[in-house]
Amino acid sequence: MPRLLVIDDDVVVGELVKAYGNTMGWVVEAVADAAAGLQAFRTHPPDVVVLDLMLPDASGWTVLEAIRSGASDAYVLVLTARADEADRIGGFARGADDYVVKPFSPGELMARCQALLRRPRASSSAAAPPLAHGGLALDPDTDEARLDGARLELSALEFQLLMSLMRRPGRVFTRDQLADAVWGQTEVGAGRVVDVHIGRLRRKLGEAAESPRFIETIRGVGYRLRAQPGPP
């Protein structure tokens, strides 16, 4: 049975999601603060985390960053009263997989959790062959990335984004195509989220947008991996 962890200081929300999730065959644990949430996350690793941003002891962003800094491939659905587009974009940019605004329907929330489980996880790419392009090398079997022989420390999303580009060198991907390939969604603002992660990826590759060694910006369209990498 899939495991769901709810981190929300509203006990009513936790109990509501727990009751609804149990009827759908999920094992649901609900906690009310960040410390308890991270402890539960480590003790009983969930498949999906429903995360409130306004917690009594820490920001939900702090919890999200802690989750994403580890090796877990759990999905994170942010549940919050913040409805601004900037907050949604910020959530996806920090590594959230979905975003639901309060007040919410427990039926829709659980349907979104079910949909998240149908997305390929980073670890599900293990059967894919290693990829190499110029000085770049990715091994989906070990989630290892290297640049000119040196290990690259990439987040799971950055790894998936780079792998999508490396599978088709020279092909131009729109921002929506990349968002769909990596996050499985093309909601409003998804293109800006792709821009944020491409920027982080470029910094780790040590390149500038104006003179890229690997990732080219196609103005008004999206990005592509250069068919012939530039000089180091």
Q: Are 208 and 218 in contact (CB under 8 A)?
A: no
pLDDT confidence of residue 129:
79
Same domain, 114 and 154: no
pLDDT confidence of residue 125:
46
Same domain, 111 and 146: no
Give the span between the Cα atoms of 45 and 28, in whole angstroms.
11
Q: Any idea of the CA torsion for 93, 221, 84, 21, to the nearest 10 degrees? A: -60
Q: What is the pLDDT of residues 55-84, one digit of tens each?
A: 999 999 899 988 887 767 789 999 988 777
Rounded to the nearest 5°, which phi and psi values hold at 162?
-65, -40
pLDDT confidence of residue 126:
46
Same domain, 146 and 177: yes
Number of other CB atoms surrounding residue 210 within 10 Å: 6
Among 119, 138, 170, which residue terminates a domain? 119
Q: Which residues contact 3 (CB under 8 A, 6 or more apart)?
A: 26, 27, 28, 29, 44, 45, 46, 47, 48
pLDDT confidence of residue 95:
80
Whole-number CA gyration radius for the chain? 19
Host domain of residue 70 = 3-119
Q: Identify the CATH number of the domain in which residue 219 sits.
A: 1.10.10.10
Low-confidence ranges of the chain (pLDDT < 50): 123-126
pLDDT confidence of residue 41:
94
CB burial readout 28-59, b (16+ within 10 A) else e: bbbbbbbeebbebbeeeebbbbbbbbebeeee
